[in-house]
Structure 1
C-alpha cells in the first residue's frame, strides 16, 4: 500500500504482486476484505477505518507507530470479527534478534544516507516530500 502509484515499480522489485493506492477510492473498494494482516506504519494520526476495511474475516490491523488517542467505529471491527493490535519495539533482545535475522537473510532497508552536515537539506526535502522512503544521517562527519 502506498499513498501514490509512484512506488509501484519499487514494490514489485521488492516482491509485491500488486500495489493498492490508499488515496484511490476505487482501489480501496476493490481491495476490501482482501488481507489477513495489514501492518500500518503511518507515523502520524490518521483514520484507521479505511485500513480496517481491507482486513479479511478474522484478520488483524496491526499499528506499528504511536498515534496518540484513536477513535474506531466498532462496526469496522465487529463486521468480519476483525482485530486491532499494536506492535511495540520489542526492546533490545528482540531488536538484536531481528537484526541478526536480517543479516543472515540479506534483508536491508531502502534508505538514502546523508552526512549529518546536510541535516537542514534533509529537513527541507522531508517538508517537500522529496525522499524515497527514509533518510539516514551518517554521524561519521562529527568526529
Structure 2
C-alpha cells in the first residue's frame, strides 16, 4: 500500500466490517475522495489523514429497490456486464485463501446451479 501513497483520486469503500481507514486515505492524492458505501459499525481515523493533502471522506447509500432495478435495466440495455470469477461451491475454501493472499481480480460469484451436478 505504501507504493500507492498519493496515487489515487477516488476510492469506493464497500467493506461493512471494521477496518482502519488511514492506510486507504493515505493512497489518495491531493483533494482525493474516499466514499463509504458499506456500513462499518465504527470508523477510526487520524485527522491528519484528511488534513494532509486536503483529502475528503464521504458517505453514500446505494439506493433502494427501484434504483437498483433501474440500474440493472440500464446495464442490460447497454450491454454493461460485471467482471466476475464464477466458482463452484466446492472451491469456496480456495477462494477464501485467495482473498487472504490478495490474489483476486474480480468478485467471486458462486454458481449454485452447477455446483451440485
TM-score between both structures, scaled by the size of structure 2: 0.71
Q: What are structure 1's unaligned runs of at least 5 residues?
A: 1-21
Aligned match of 1:127: 96
Q: TM-score, normalised by structure 1?
A: 0.60
Alignment of 1:5-16 (within 5 A): none
- Corresponding residue SS for 1:124: helix
| Alpha-carbon distance, 1:105 to partner | 2.5
Q: Relative to 1, partners in 2 of residues 1:59 and 1:127: Cα closer, same or farther, differing over 3 Å? A: closer
1:71 counterpart (44, 56, 61): 44
Hey, which bits of structure 1, 4+ residues long, moved more than 4 A? none
8 A contact 1:122–1:135 mirrored in 2: no
Alignment gaps of 5+ in structure 2 = none
Structure 1 residue 28 and structure 2 residue 7: aligned?
Answer: no
With a CA cutoff of 8 Å and minimum separation of 6, indicate the structure with the bigger relative contact order: 2
Q: How many residues of Structure 1 are paired with residues of Structure 2 in the alignment?
A: 110
For the aligned residue pairs, the C-alpha RMSD in angstroms reads 2.8
